[in-house]
């Protein structure tokens, strides 16, 4: 199998290198830009399209990539833990190009104003139809985190995204945040809405009592006469990262031994191509690919890594290609395989950025989106404030959106300290843009977004920070069980990511004074995983807290929100790490 650097970074078929002439297409009208940007020649005889982690964003959005994505241990300085110029250099992407803007945070404000918003299901539908028209039999795979992340998905109990996914033409899907709607709702969709149209696969979800499969572990589909197996891998730590009570009767886990059995089983049934549709996160996928033989390609999600370069991993059976297709509808992965004599002889992988200005919206999808949004239009569009600074979420330690949430929680709830979960989803805003109710809810819309206030000892606060840090920086990817680091308001601290478990956090201070392990502090937060939190006296949704704070700010008829001073920890031992810009 021959794979060249140019194959991996190809965005324009006629380009000699990634980024060439992309600016010309950015200036063109949508029809001509679409023809230039997305005229990707067909290769081979099997094609798969891959989207993941769109987080219910039906309309085009802005999304800033992280400036901090640290790798530790053997992952330090390796993909996906490269950011900014280091990532662009590794991928051979020209600074200032469309692809460079799509994959990095570099010059985000300037580039976002120039190139416009990304994603959008009407625009994505146009791209999917275009690619499928030139690739007979191509399948569209959805890596999950599709039903959660917006106001309309929350208010319709995911029905907006279920209908949009079916219209988009999703063939196979796995999940993670989908499970936060509860077992009954998930099964109703999979066994009802999806019946006969979408295969929901997850080899690692079993009944908690007898270990029976909850979903089909895989599906085998013929593409141009080639049997292609797609095995599902749902997020293995769903009951840990999210409330257990949503999936009380189901068990999860990595289950790579069972995955090996599934690979052997589909091979014995004649599958000539085996693909893992995964929501593990890229570090976990890389380790799994080294342990399980017989998988040709992992199409990954969860960690929102828009990787312009796949990573080839050696294992006992040969090697496996690992990819990750970003988030928020910002990318569409295109995998073209040339299958000969019962095996993959060659392949091409292209990560296509989905730029809304360069794609004509699909009329049928646009009509569905308008219909879904119509009952909520006025509520969604209400301007709550205007931001003077860029608002974004992604990054290992904090973002300006989460800083805003922490500031609101402390002010409204009278807390000394605030915690905001290290969620990776959430859209971005540029300075001068309106914070509408919809954009606020892009940061907060879950089925358990209860605002909390608790009295915690200094020792407990340190334990919480240490536990989350280990979930993020454990050198063994199989122990990385959550999102990014919990965001902290009010409290300053230092962190040494490469230190041992329980020894990463130090220098905790509040208003300049050291945190006393035995003293109690008032701590605000939201999205608790404990079931009893929703029944606490006076509990309210976090969006009510944040909205009241936004409306209370000064600035005239429309409140102005000053650029947030981001409370980031002092980092120890990361000098020279290309995972921080």
Structure tokens given for 149: 């992340």
Q: 27 pLDDT band (50/70/90 cuts)?
A: low
Residues 532 and 567 in one domain: yes
Q: Are residues 364 and 429 in the same domain?
A: no
Residue 534 confidence (pLDDT) above 90: no
Indicate whether 20 pLDDT > 50. Answer: no
Q: What is the pLDDT of residue 37?
A: 82
Alpha-carbon distance of 445 to 527, in angstroms, equals 10
For 195-207, what is the mean pLDDT? 98
Given a contact cutoff of 8 angstroms between Cβ atoms, the answer to whether 353 and 333 are in contact is no
Of the segments 7-16, 31-40, 477-486, 507-516, which one has the largest average pLDDT value? 507-516
Predicted confidence at residue 551, as pLDDT, reads 96
Query: Strand 46-51 vs strand 331-340: parallel, antiparallel, or unpaired?
Result: antiparallel
Helix (H) or strand (E) holding 241: helix 238-241
CATH number at residue 362: 3.60.21.10
pLDDT bracket for residue 268 (50, 70, 90): very high
Q: How confident is the model at residue 4 (pLDDT cuts 50, 70, 90)?
A: very low
pLDDT digits (tens, 9 = 90+) for 80-100: 999 999 999 999 999 999 899
At residue 32, the pLDDT reads: 65
Check pLDDT > 90 for residue 395.
Answer: yes
Per-residue pLDDT averaged across 297-316, rounded? 97
Distance from C-alpha of 319 to C-alpha of 309, rounded to nearest angstrom: 16
In our burial notation (b when 16+ CB lie closer than 10 A, e otherwise), range 411-447 reads: bbbebbbbbbbbbbbbbbbbeeeebbbbbbbbbbbbb
Burial of 194 (0-12, 13-18, 19+ CB in 10 A): middle
Rounded CA-CA distance 119/109 in Å is 17
The whole-chain average pLDDT of the chain stands at 94
Q: First vs last Cα of the chain: how many Å apart?
A: 35
- Give the mean pLDDT of 204-215: 98
| CA trace torsion 144, 215, 127, 442 (10° rounding) | -30
- The CATH number linked to 445 is 3.90.780.10
Look up the pTM and report it.
Answer: 0.95
Asked, as a colleague might, if the bond just before 80 is cis with ω within 30 of 0, I would say: yes
- Domain enclosing residue 345, as ranges: 43-57+119-370
509 vs 398, 415, 421, CA distance in Å? 17, 15, 20
| 518 and 491 fall within a common domain | yes
Tell me the CB-side half-sphere exposure of residue 149, using CA atoms within 13 A: 25
Token pair of 49 as six digits = 């399209």
Are 345 and 232 members of one domain?
A: yes
Give the end of a domain, one of 343, 370, 397: 370
Longest dimension (CA), the chain: 71
Q: If you ran DSSP here, which 8-state letter would residue 76 be given?
A: T
Q: How far apart are CA 426 and CA 56, in angstroms?
A: 10
CA nearest to 358, candidates 105, 69, 127: 127
Lowest model confidence (mean pLDDT) among 3-7, 223-227, 234-238, 447-451 = 3-7
Q: How many domains does the chain have?
A: 2
Query: Considering 370, 405, 439, which residue would you say is the last residue of a domain?
Result: 370
Query: What is the predicted pLDDT for the residue at 25?
Result: 59
Provide the pLDDT for residue 12.
Answer: 33
Q: In what order do the strands lie in the sheet with 383-387?
A: 434-436, 383-387, 560-561
- Per-residue pLDDT at 462 exceeds 60: yes
| pLDDT at position 9 over 80 | no
**Do 125 and 249 reside in the same domain of the chain?**
yes
Q: Are strands 139-142 and 172-173 parallel, antiparallel or unpaired?
A: parallel
Predicted pLDDT at 17? 32
């Amino acid at each position: 199998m021959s794979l060249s650097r140019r194959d991996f970074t190809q965005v324009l078929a006629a380009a000699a290198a990634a980024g060439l002439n992309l600016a010309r297409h950015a200036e063109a009208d949508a029809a001509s830009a679409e023809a230039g940007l997305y005229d990707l020649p067909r290769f081979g005889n099997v094609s798969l399209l891959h989207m993941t982690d769109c987080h219910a964003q039906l309309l085009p959005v802005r999304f800033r990539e992280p400036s901090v994505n640290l790798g530790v241990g053997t992952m330090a300085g390796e993909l996906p833990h490269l950011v900014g110029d280091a990532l662009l250099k590794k991928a051979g992407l020209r600074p200032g190009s469309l692809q460079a803007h799509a994959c990095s945070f570099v010059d985000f404000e300037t580039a976002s104003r120039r190139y416009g918003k990304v994603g959008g299901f009407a625009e994505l539908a146009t791209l999917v139809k275009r690619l499928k028209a030139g690739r007979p039999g191509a399948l569209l795979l959805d890596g999950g985190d599709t039903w959660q992340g917006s106001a309309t998905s929350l208010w319709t109990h995911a029905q907006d995204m279920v209908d949009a996914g079916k219209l988009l033409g999703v063939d196979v899907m796995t999940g993670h945040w989908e499970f936060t709607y509860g077992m009954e709702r998930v099964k109703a969709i999979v066994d009802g809405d999806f019946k006969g149209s979408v295969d929901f696969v997850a080899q690692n979800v079993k009944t908690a009592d007898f270990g029976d499969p909850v979903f089909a572990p895989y599906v085998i589909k013929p593409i141009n006469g080639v049997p292609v197996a797609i095995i599902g891998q749902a997020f293995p730590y769903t009951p840990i990262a999210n409330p257990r009570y949503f999936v009380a009767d189901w068990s999860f886990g990595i289950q790579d031994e069972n995955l090996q059995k599934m690979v052997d089983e589909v091979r014995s049934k004649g599958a000539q191509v085996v693909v893992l549709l995964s929501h593990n996160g890229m570090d976990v996928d890389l380790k799994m690919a080294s342990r399980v033989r017989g998988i040709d390609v992992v199409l990954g999600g969860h960690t929102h890594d828009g990787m312009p370069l796949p990573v080839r991993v050696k294992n006992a059976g040969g090697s496996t290609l690992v990819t990750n297709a970003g988030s928020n509808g910002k990318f569409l992965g295109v995998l073209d395989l040339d299958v000969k004599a019962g095996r993959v002889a060659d392949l091409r992988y292209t990560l296509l950025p989905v730029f809304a200005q360069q794609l004509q919206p699909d009329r049928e999808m646009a009509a569905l989106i308008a219909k879904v949004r119509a009952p909520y239009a006025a509520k969604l569009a209400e301007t709550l404030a205007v931001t003077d600074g860029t608002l974004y979420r992604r990054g290992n330690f904090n973002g300006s959106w989460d800083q805003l949430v922490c500031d609101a929680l402390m002010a409204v709830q009278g807390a000394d300290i605030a915690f905001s979960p290290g969620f990776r989803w959430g859209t971005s805003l540029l300075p001068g843009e309106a914070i509408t109710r919809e954009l606020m809810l892009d940061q907060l819309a879950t089925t358990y977004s209860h605002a909390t206030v608790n009295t915690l000892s200094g020792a407990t606060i340190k334990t919480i920070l240490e536990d989350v840090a280990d979930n993020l920086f454990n050198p063994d990817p199989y122990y990385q069980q959550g999102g990014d680091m919990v965001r902290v308001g009010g409290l300053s601290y230092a962190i040494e990511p490469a230190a041992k478990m329980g020894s990463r956090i130090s220098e905790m201070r509040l208003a300049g004074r050291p945190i006393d392990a035995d003293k109690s502090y008032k701590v605000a937060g939201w999205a608790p995983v404990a079931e009893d939190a929703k029944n606490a006296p006076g509990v309210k949704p976090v969006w009510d807290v944040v909205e009241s704070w936004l409306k209370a700010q000064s600035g005239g008829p429309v409140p102005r929100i000053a650029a947030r001073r981001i409370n980031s920890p002092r980092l120890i031992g990361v000098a020279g790490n290309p995972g921080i810009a």
